Structure 1
Amino acid sequence: MVLARDSNSGHGQDDSESFYRHIDIFDISAATNIKSTASDAVNGSIASRDGGVLEAGVTPAQYCPWLDFNVNSELNRFGYANGTVLHNGGEQHAGLLNEKWESIGLVPVNGNGGDGEYYLFSLSDNDFITQDGYMNGGALQYADESGFNLDNQALVFKVKLPKHARPV
């Protein structure tokens, strides 16, 4: 899994609408295993230097878009502070998704993941942007130059992974 996102879009940014905020999957089941003394050595390229064309016989992993954070019809189902709803794009307030999502965590729903159901967590601290912060053990007061106070945010998804894609 990879957390892929655009930047400079979301709560606290000039542009509030993100166009790409996903957890995607790399399928390595048909990819060439390039681990070898030759490819791990200096000048052991598996692609041409002028254009990045893969060498013959090298099959890349497949990039598979999967879970899109920006679907407002799903986000809007959840309330947030002061009666607002969670959303991507639009008004700057606590219900607007932060710009930076920086983590992925999987926890099995039924303890062992045997049925393939997991809770997938992603969190955003958005660089701890605040107007009422402290540094150096509380000795120095801090206010971010943006003028925003941004809450930390967490999204939790219940997902089902195919048997071959489950964590070990």
Structure 2
Amino acid sequence: MPWALQRFLEGLYAENRFGGREKRWEKESEAAALTEETPIISEHPVVRVHPVTGQKLIYVNPGFTSRIVGLSASQSDRLLDLLFAEITNPAYTVRVRWTPDSIGIWDNRATIHQAPTDLGHLDVVRVLHRTTVEGDIPVGVAGQQSRSISGAPFYARTA
């Protein structure tokens, strides 16, 4: 990615909400009702710094990122299209060849999960059990933290 584009991205925030720009559920579904009744919306730095490695990371995701704050709708859509194409580039992806009892673990601060879309020809049922570890608050290159716009943060339940 060109240096000038990297520098531009470092000062931007992205709005994140369940479903991102394209909701993947039926209009009358439970998911639609829950996200309307209790919207959880945050603004995260588009480029965050990994708290352990110090690496700069593009921190957008097609399943959650809805827009770039401060840009027009068309500018935001174009930039998100570019970033989503970048982060889903096969050169940066891992495809797992699953076997019985396989487990996949990744660091959501540095990677995204994107379900495969080319399994329709297979006679299999895809089952995913997801566990999310309570994490840190994302911080951008200049030290700016993510901010909550709507909804309360959710934390791990204690016994």
Normalised by the length of structure 2, the TM-score is 0.24
Structure number with the higher strand fraction is 1
Q: Kindly indicate whether structure 1 or structure 2 has the higher relative contact order, using CA contacts under 8 Å at least 6 residues apart.
A: 2
Normalising by the residue count of structure 1, what TM-score does the alignment of the two structures yield? 0.23
* Larger relative helix fraction: 2
Higher radius of gyration, 1 or 2: 1
